[in-house]
Structure 1
Amino acid sequence: MSATAGTRLLVRQFARRDRIIAPAWLLVMAVLCLVSAAATPGLYDTDAARVRAAEALNDSPAIVALYGPILDVHSIGELAMTKMTVLYAVIAAILFVVLVRRHTRVEEESGRTELVGGTAVGRDAPLTAAVAESVVVAIALGLLVVVANIAGGLDPAGSVAFGCVWFGTGLVATGIAAVCVQLSASARTCAAAAAGVLGVLFMMRAVGDASGATWLSWLSPLGWNTQARAWSGTRWWVLALYPLLAVALVAVARWLRGRRDLGAGLVAARPGPATGSPRLSDAVSLSLRVHGAAIVAWTAAVAVLGLLFGFIAPGLDDLLDSGSAQELIDRLGGEMLAAVLSVVAIVVTCFGISVVSHAGSDETGGRTEEVLATATSRARWLAASLVVALAGSLWLLFVTGITLWVGYATAGGPSPGDLVTAAIGWSPAVWVVIGLAAVLLALRGSWAVFGWVWPALFLTLTLIGELVGFPGWLTGLSPYSHVPTMPAQPWQWAPEIGLTAIAALLLAAAWLRFRERDIG
């Protein structure tokens, strides 16, 4: 039997399992490109205004480190896609890490790969199928981005080149994930390794672009996104680097796959202590132990994000010298800091969703039954995950507020107001979304993964709804639309109390349903 036998069947199965998460992710990224492409010409309607905006961006090392440089200050496409070229490309790349990890390492960890391998499925079929599906998704992403940019009024040739850049980013992310899932028997460790690689590549590009050391940017595939010059004098040969690197990474992954046992990793797992710590006898302590590394990583990430945005916020005033630009910011949050907090709130929501989703995978993997076989009740087990999700998101927002204030003060900006309160004010909206994910978990453990649809949906409604003219009742469905946008607006108790009450009702409904249904 061939080592890749059964690949086609597995691709069909993977596509069916990802029929919601992949299209939703692709749709959000395409809509973001569409809105950015359509809005920018109206913000800077003359070449002089575009040049001033591009030069202001390039004059800020922090902005260049975050978004990358604008190589042609006269290019409307390059200005419109400033954030999309690198920063949002990383967000798109995360999808491919999720897909490859989900269908390889997660399946091995749960034992399902061994079960499938007992049929007419070859040893290399799962990895090959996961890579094949990711390639198809990358093609779809590139095509959607091309269509979105052209529909937004940008140059068709540049749109095609930019779509190829995102397609290539997806291929490289697929290769990185394929290698990382060979390293450890733990799906979490593999995810952390892939995230670490993407983080290092981003930092290499950021340092290279901000310091002028272009050679360092060329060492990172994310640096190629800018150096390809999609919108002016496209370097088509750069686009060939993505598939070449992806093929090399997949080849390395297949070679590593042949040098390890099924269910094991190249890095041998260390045996734990013979007896567990008494501190882990409590369900909440156990949940904190499981998610401890993720909390630390998320804390570091939002701290860096807060410092960066706080540092660059005062310098963005030069970009808002037109009435249309200021109007856009007003619609997104009134002030730049408020707009930043609205985005960070959605990012922090993903932490809570990941905790709830992990609880669902524990149930489908049989680990929940093992815990409930002890003196732990259903209520305590569910409460442990929800406490970590709710309290963890509150903590991350608090850290964001602190670091945003530190970065803003370091940059010498005027007093921005109470940014800590402004950040924490988003917690009730975040809790509502976590509550919706908890309801899915309570209905069926396998449905917890669909909780990722909520932040994608509300991101579309909140950040894009008004720009494209959605009716008020539709944008009002998003809990983020009801949060007072401090510091642009004063604190308001009514929406905060209302959102908290809705979150409490959702969590109560989840608890009532969970205690009655069958486990597994």
Structure 2
Amino acid sequence: MTAFAGTWALTRAALRRDRVLASVWVLLLVAVVYASAAATESIYPTAADRVEAAEAINSSPAIVALYGPILDVRSAGELSMTKLTVLYAVFAALLFLVLVRRHTRSEEESGRAELLGGTAVGRDAQLAAAVLESVLVSLVLGALCVLACVGGGLPLAGSVGFALSWVGVSWVAIGLTAVACQLSASARTCAALAGAGIGVLYVLRAVGDTGPEWVSWLSPFGWSTRLRAWSDPRWWVLLLDLVLGAALLGTAVLLRARRDLGAGLFAARPGPATGSPRLADAFVLTWRVHRTMLWSWSAGVGVMGLVMGAIAPGVGDLLDSEAGRQVIESLGGVGKLEDALVAAVLSIAGVVVTCFAIAVVGHGAGDERDGRTEQVLATATSRSRSFLATAVVALGGGTWLLLVTGVGAAVGLGDHLGGFVGAALDQSFAVWAVAGLALLLYAAGTRYAVLAWSVLAAFFALGQLGELLDLPAAVTGLSPYTHLPAMPVEAFAPGTAVALTAVAAALVAAAWWRFLGRDIG
């Protein structure tokens, strides 16, 4: 039997298992690509408007650090995809981090990999299957992006180049995650290592785009810009992604041969012989488990707020056309353009922060599947206290992250502390409602907890694409995010806040009641 025996069978199983997760993630990315391509002509109707906007982007170091430079200011395609080429490529990379980790390190941590290893499956088949599945998904993503760009009115050649830049970044993310999975025996640490690697590559690109240009050539995100997909493309740049991805995968295979199944090359650090007496409380234990993730998220959303606050004063130059002003003002109402931009960004931040709340709930479901919840309940801890601890960390952590985002935006702009903090916290009502729905799905059964991600994706799509697709208000109104006023431009709506809070409270109460009445595990 070869080391890769059973690879195709495992690949088919992985594709079936990820059919919802991967499909929703890919379709959302493709929808954003189409929306960006289709909207550019209406926002910048003339060539002069597009050149002026591109020059305004290049003149702002904060915007270049976030999105990357526009190398050809006359290219409509490069302007259309300025946010997506680099920033949204990170979201594409995160998809493959999730897929590779899910079918390698998570399988080993749960013990399923050892069970499969007792069948006619080769030693490297699971890693190979995870990589093969991810490569297939990346190719589908690339093909759909080409169709979305062309459907949005962009030229075919540039659309192909842009899509291939995403595919290249995805292959690097696949290799990077495969290496991280060999280094750590913990799925969480593996995700942290791979995520940190993606973050370092992004920062290298930002440093190079705002400083010494050669630094950008150290990052695949920098290669995506230097590809010049929309004008005079350098196709050879794609080989850099291919070579780096192959090198990382080769390294992962070599590392895989040097460790035991279930272990990592970095030995797990043993904890103290006895834990703190405080950990006997479910709330303290849940906080201890999630505090590192919360601080990491706090740093991330704080930086996001700072960057958006720094960018806001220059939005007038970017949208120095009547159509551009109407687009931003439609997101934030009538008022200062910088306030309208912050309002639009905070609406996105609300969706991002909801991911933290859903992750906390998902971790609770994972603890139950792996038997840890049963061990906790074998002590003096009640079911009610265990469930409420997860709910408090999910909802409270989400509220804290929105507070940090608002403070970051105010510090970046240097003004409007109270207004931006209030606008950010206003998003918490929608976050609570979606988190409450996630808790209800978890309480219905651990296998349903993952559906919360699909629900969030659907709400995000309704809020961001509903108007573009001309959906009726009854449909877009299903998303709680669409009911919130665009603060700080619009006034606080106490009726909406009370209604969403009531919905969230009802969902949490229903989840609590269901959790108390069902079997654990």
- Range of TM-score over shorter length: over 0.9
Q: Matches of 2:451 and 2:6 in 1, distance apart?
A: 27
Q: Matches of 2:457 and 2:88 in 1, distance apart?
A: 14
Q: Matches of 2:35 and 2:289 in 1, distance apart?
A: 39
3-state SS of 2:449 partner = helix
* Equivalence for 2:410: 405
* Equivalence for 1:475: 476
* Equivalence for 1:61: 61
1:333-348 counterparts in 2 under 5 A? Answer: 333-334=332-333, 335-348=340-353
* Equivalence for 1:501: 502
CA 1:491–1:101 in 2, change beyond 3 Å: closer, same or farther?
A: same
* Equivalence for 1:114: 114
- Contact 1:331/1:466 (8 A) holds in 2: no
Q: Matches of 2:150 and 2:366 in 1, distance apart?
A: 40
Superimposed CA distance per residue, residues 60-102 of structure 1 (whole angstroms, 9 cap, x where no aligned partner): 0000000000000000000000100000000111000000111
1:408-427 counterparts in 2 under 5 A? Answer: 408-409=413-414, 415=416, 418-427=419-428
Q: Matches of 1:384 and 1:128 in 2, distance apart?
A: 39
Q: Which runs of 4+ in 1 moved over 2 A?
A: 330-334, 414-417
Does 1:439 pair with 2:451?
Answer: no
Q: Matches of 2:85 and 2:382 in 1, distance apart?
A: 49
Unaligned runs of 5+ in 2: 334-339
Does 1:452 pair with 2:415?
Answer: no
- Contact 1:35/1:468 (8 A) holds in 2: no
* Equivalence for 1:39: 39
- Contact 2:53/2:320 (8 A) holds in 1: no
* Equivalence for 2:132: 132
Q: Judge which range, 327-336 or 214-223, deviates more.
A: 327-336
1:302-381 counterparts in 2 under 5 A? Answer: 302-334=301-333, 335-381=340-386
Superimposed CA distance per residue, residues 264-309 of structure 1 (whole angstroms, 9 cap, x where no aligned partner): 1100111111111111111111111111110010000001000000
Q: Matches of 2:158 and 2:469 in 1, distance apart?
A: 23
Q: Matches of 1:361 and 1:9 in 2, distance apart?
A: 25
* Equivalence for 2:97: 97
- Contact 1:360/1:447 (8 A) holds in 2: no
Q: Matches of 1:332 and 1:454 in 2, distance apart?
A: 22
Identity of aligned residues (%): 58
* Equivalence for 2:401: 396
Letter in 2 for 1:37: A
- Contact 1:100/1:130 (8 A) holds in 2: yes
Q: Matches of 2:68 and 2:418 in 1, distance apart?
A: 29
3-state SS of 1:236 partner = coil
Q: Matches of 2:513 and 2:16 in 1, distance apart?
A: 31
Letter in 2 for 1:267: F
Cα distance, 1:163 vs structure 2: 0.8
3-state SS of 1:515 partner = helix
* Equivalence for 1:382: 387
Cα distance, 1:415 vs structure 2: 4.8
* Equivalence for 1:174: 174
Does 1:19 pair with 2:24?
Answer: no
- Contact 2:406/2:417 (8 A) holds in 1: no
3-state SS of 1:511 partner = helix
* CA RMSD across the alignment: 1.0
Cα distance, 1:450 vs structure 2: 2.0
Letter in 2 for 1:332: L
Letter in 2 for 1:158: G
Q: Matches of 1:441 and 1:265 in 2, distance apart?
A: 30
- Contact 1:65/1:207 (8 A) holds in 2: yes
Cα distance, 1:446 vs structure 2: 2.1
Q: How many aligned positions are there?
A: 515
Unaligned runs of 5+ in 1: none
Cα distance, 1:488 vs structure 2: 1.0
Q: Matches of 2:390 and 2:39 in 1, distance apart?
A: 41
- Contact 2:407/2:417 (8 A) holds in 1: no
- Contact 2:410/2:420 (8 A) holds in 1: yes
* Equivalence for 1:464: 465
* Equivalence for 1:267: 266
- Contact 1:435/1:506 (8 A) holds in 2: yes
- Contact 1:54/1:70 (8 A) holds in 2: yes
Q: Matches of 2:32 and 2:438 in 1, distance apart?
A: 24
* Equivalence for 1:74: 74
Q: Matches of 1:244 and 1:351 in 2, distance apart?
A: 34
Letter in 2 for 1:280: L
Q: Matches of 2:466 and 2:286 in 1, distance apart?
A: 37
CA 1:291–1:416 in 2, change beyond 3 Å: closer, same or farther?
A: closer
Q: Matches of 2:313 and 2:258 in 1, distance apart?
A: 53
Q: Matches of 2:223 and 2:332 in 1, distance apart?
A: 33
Superimposed CA distance per residue, residues 496-518 of structure 1 (whole angstroms, 9 cap, x where no aligned partner): 11001001111111111111111
Cα distance, 1:170 vs structure 2: 1.0
Letter in 1 for 2:483: H
Q: Matches of 2:113 and 2:383 in 1, distance apart?
A: 29
- Contact 1:171/1:242 (8 A) holds in 2: yes
Cα distance, 1:123 vs structure 2: 1.1
Q: Matches of 1:333 and 1:351 in 2, distance apart?
A: 25
Q: Matches of 2:486 and 2:51 in 1, distance apart?
A: 31
Q: Matches of 1:436 and 1:339 in 2, distance apart?
A: 24
Cα distance, 1:416 vs structure 2: 7.7
- Contact 1:143/1:163 (8 A) holds in 2: yes
Does 1:220 pair with 2:252?
Answer: no
Q: Matches of 1:176 and 1:141 in 2, distance apart?
A: 19
Cα distance, 1:437 vs structure 2: 1.1
- Contact 1:419/1:487 (8 A) holds in 2: yes
Letter in 2 for 1:297: S
- Contact 1:333/1:342 (8 A) holds in 2: no
3-state SS of 2:72 partner = coil
Letter in 2 for 1:288: W
Cα distance, 1:447 vs structure 2: 1.9
Letter in 1 for 2:349: V
3-state SS of 1:121 partner = coil
Cα distance, 1:330 vs structure 2: 2.3
